[in-house]
Structure 1
Amino acid sequence: MLTLRRFASPDVTRAFANIVWLGLERLTQIAVAIAISGLLARYFGPDTFGKWQYANTLLLVLSPVTWVCGAEILVPTIVHRPPEQLGTVLGSAFVLRIAVSGVALLLTWAGIAAGLTDPLVGAMLAGLAVTMLFREPFVGVINAWLQSMTYSKPQLLTSMTTAIFKAALVWVLVRAATAPAHFGWLWALESAVIGAVLLMYYIRRHGGRLGWHLDRSLFRHFATAGTVFWLGLICMYLFLKLDRLMLERTISFADLGRYSAAQQLNENWITLALMLAQTLAPAFVYRVQDAVRLRRNMLRLMGMTALLMVGGAIVLDLLAGFIISRVFGPSYEGAIGIFRWAVWLSVPAGIEAIGNLVVLKYQAKFVLLSKWLLALAVAFVVNLLMIPRLGAYGALVGLAAGYLAAAAVNFYYIGFKLRS
């Protein structure tokens, strides 16, 4: 009876439902991303697809700049403040994020106008960059409010629905032989729709009014709090995309398109490791206070993750030719070998994701920043040495070295923290 009663607890039920919705959303996004990539890869061809992937890489490097006042700061603030201050908290965070996002968008457009990128890459990025204006100021702020209630269903359901509609619209635009430069605006439209739907949901839940206000002291707090975490995330995303940024200088866009095709599939596979970490973290890491038990849990989680990643990598390695040809078509045969090697990056990536849970549990912000700075530096040096010798395969060596460096920092911190 005690077990049943505990399982029936509203908090446990809400958390379990939230995890289910998160899993469904992630799986939907992965499926949609693969379907859209296959459509665009066949329609664009390797050269133009390489430029599309490079534009997306630039976006993913620029976007973390807008992640000021992250969820690790905003969600606890919402939880610990009285309900009547919610409008002030969200309003102050919104003003900060919209200002930073607006500046980031204008600087991106200025760089494109100044000819800092290939003309077609710039035209694609011009539309993609508009997502920065909606993702963090609107979607991010309201999603933080939903997270504070352990109720992410509205955001996840909206995200899944718009992703499916986006895939349908991509198919329509491909059938209509739309110019490649115009596709980026579809991503901007998606982010605007998600932001509008969530904003309307928030207003409906609060009696038909928004009620957001700016508090200058809270604004200053949000602008400075979490800065180290913010810089750490910027370094992490720069590390994850450094391979494509450096390859763009040494190989053709067609070869970059084949490399990016393999890496996009691989990154979706690695996302499963991150999903696993997020799902297991609350019960096996965040809520465990005993050091001996936590160390035992970490060893088991890392072992289980390593077995899962190795097993998956073996299957994907064997099916690489079938998967690449089915998703991207015969023009991407050169991506098969890259994909076969890339899938093994999931092993160090998965182990690093599990080890990172202890860093997050103890809010070790300087460890996080140091870790990704080290990974970025190691990957940069290895890329400089190996890309001229091995081409795209050299970039995989750089990623592997960076992941191992990050995992080594995790191991050192775990040993230090749990021993003391």
Structure 2
Amino acid sequence: MLKRIKNPDVARALTNIVWLGLERLTQIAVAIGISGLLARYFGPDVFGKWQYANTLLLVIAPVTWVCGAEILVPTIVHRDPRQIGTVLGSAFVLRIGISAAALVLTWIGVAAGFTDPLVGAMLAGLAVTMLFREPFVGVINAWLQSMTYSKPQLLTSMVTAILKAALVFLLVRAAANPARFGWLWALESAAIGGVLVVYYMRRNGGTLGWRLDWPLFKHFASAGTVFWLGLICMSLFMKLDRLMLERHVSFAHLGVYSAAQQLNENWIALALMLAQTIAPAFVYKVNDAPQLKRNIVRLFAMTALLMIGGAIVLDLLAAFIISHVFGLAYKDSIDIFRWAVWLSLPAGIEAIGNLVVLKYQAKFVLLAKWLLALVVAAIVNLIAIPRMGSYGALAGLAAGYLAAASVNLYYIRFRLQA
């Protein structure tokens, strides 16, 4: 055990996991605090509109995920360190162009009145995050992930999250218009991007050193297309519950459902962050099939234990958490939350299995998987939501995650067979 801990890759991964845990705890605490403040200040109806605006953003934002981490991180890992500036620069130019276009089109849609006026006003500010998240934060974070050293990004996220919570509190005390709150998220993303750019420049001799290489730019644009479509399907699947539920319930009921899911998604994000931080050391860099298979089995077991343990605790504390965070107006969120937290188990298993798909760049497997999950969830939602309401939406998510995890397990068995 001591020899393993002294291994540089293992030591970096353990340190990364510690920082990941601290960042997740901070984000969960901040999310709980902000959700509680906004839910009480807005009330269920306006809070439902706020959550719907966030849902629309998270459906639009995947358009900016072209040349995602699944392409960029392995490219950085296998490239000569002297070529990193070219890799990051080419990815940045591609992402900033797509992000700017997505932002302009979103604003045009808001101005054209394609959604509720208050939802549109909230979305207008939230959408600015697209201009900073993927072009700046995403590119530099991919570089950090390739070194299994996410501390700068995690620390920055923690500090800005706390500052954002303080600003939300001040706006609530000032009785600010609900439409103004979205701009705080834009400010947060800009701050994180700025700090990471400064950090990168300090590590790079005081210069950014990013250069555009047209062949690499074209490669990122073409090689990542199938992955990109797959990730769009993934994001749409994860928000399909609220998109379809909104057609059958009031914004007030959607606010009650979203209150539970707001907390639950921060918990599920732990599985995704855990997978991202350990991928370079324990999956991407391992070429021996038997060793990789052993690593994946251990990661499955560790993730399952973590998700089950956490779900049990959150299930038991559901009434306490919901009543103290959101208040009596959201008491119907308690049972929804108790069921929702168990989605972390299939979500975590799927996230670990997905690492093998990404390692071997199985882009068509990724696309087929999330397309299947999206179709399965849509069918279940169509049948279950009219009959079961919010619980039908949870059933759709569960069915989709199980479908995606099943594809992963089949691919792992096929790819790593002895």
Q: 1:259: Cα distance to partner?
A: 0.1
CA distance in 2, matches of 1:362, 1:81: 16
The answer as to 2:302 corresponding to 1:326 is no
The answer as to 2:272 corresponding to 1:274 is yes
Distance 1:362 1:198, change over 3 A: same
Residue pairs, 1:210-359, within 5 angstroms: 210-278=208-276, 281=279, 285-286=283-284, 291=289, 294-295=292-293, 298-299=296-297, 301-359=299-357
Partner letter of residue 269 of structure 1? W
Residue pairs, 1:68-217, within 5 angstroms: 68-217=66-215
Q: 1:67: Cα distance to partner?
A: 1.1
Deviations 1:228-266 (A, max 9, x none): 222111111110000001111111000000000111112
Unaligned residue ranges in structure 1 (runs of 5+): none
Helix, strand or coil: the match of 1:73?
A: helix
- Which of 39, 45, 48 is 1:47 aligned to? 45
CA distance in 1, matches of 2:237, 2:194: 32
Q: Which moved more, 1:76-85 or 1:18-27?
A: 76-85
Q: Which moved more, 1:288-297 or 1:129-138?
A: 288-297
Q: 1:342: Cα distance to partner?
A: 1.5
Distance 1:394 1:8, change over 3 A: closer
Partner letter of residue 404 of structure 1? L
Deviations 1:168-202 (A, max 9, x none): 11111111111100000000011111112222223
- Which of 54, 60, 63 is 1:62 aligned to? 60
Q: 1:145: Cα distance to partner?
A: 2.8
Say whether the 8 Å CA contact 1:23–1:275 is kept in structure 2: no
CA distance in 2, matches of 1:145, 1:328: 38
Partner letter of residue 362 of structure 2? A
Partner letter of residue 94 of structure 1? F
Identity in percent: 80
Partner letter of residue 152 of structure 2? P
Q: 1:108: Cα distance to partner?
A: 0.5
Distance 1:329 1:306, change over 3 A: same
Say whether the 8 Å CA contact 2:145–2:276 is kept in structure 1: no
Deviations 1:344-402 (A, max 9, x none): 22232222223323323333221111111000001111111111111111111111111
How many residues end up aligned between the 2 structures? 418
Distance 1:382 1:136, change over 3 A: same
CA distance in 1, matches of 2:212, 2:272: 35
1:373 — aligned with what?
Answer: 371
CA distance in 2, matches of 1:384, 1:192: 39
Distance 1:94 1:328, change over 3 A: same
Q: 1:311: Cα distance to partner?
A: 3.9
CA distance in 1, matches of 2:206, 2:351: 41
Q: Which moved more, 1:204-213 or 1:194-203?
A: 204-213
1:24 — aligned with what?
Answer: 22
CA distance in 1, matches of 2:395, 2:123: 28
CA distance in 2, matches of 1:288, 1:155: 25
Partner letter of residue 357 of structure 2? V
Helix, strand or coil: the match of 1:256?
A: helix
Q: TM-score, normalised by structure 1?
A: 0.91
CA distance in 2, matches of 1:309, 1:321: 19
CA distance in 1, matches of 2:286, 2:80: 28
Backbone CA RMSD of aligned residues? 2.4
Distance 1:226 1:39, change over 3 A: same
CA distance in 2, matches of 1:77, 1:339: 39
Deviations 1:148-175 (A, max 9, x none): 3433222222111111100111111111
Distance 1:172 1:366, change over 3 A: same
Say whether the 8 Å CA contact 1:78–1:86 is kept in structure 2: yes
Distance 1:35 1:66, change over 3 A: same
CA distance in 1, matches of 2:332, 2:220: 47
CA distance in 1, matches of 2:75, 2:417: 31
Say whether the 8 Å CA contact 1:258–1:332 is kept in structure 2: yes
The answer as to 2:407 corresponding to 1:409 is yes
Deviations 1:279-336 (A, max 9, x none): 5656665565555565555455445544443443333333322111011111101111
Q: 1:227: Cα distance to partner?
A: 1.7
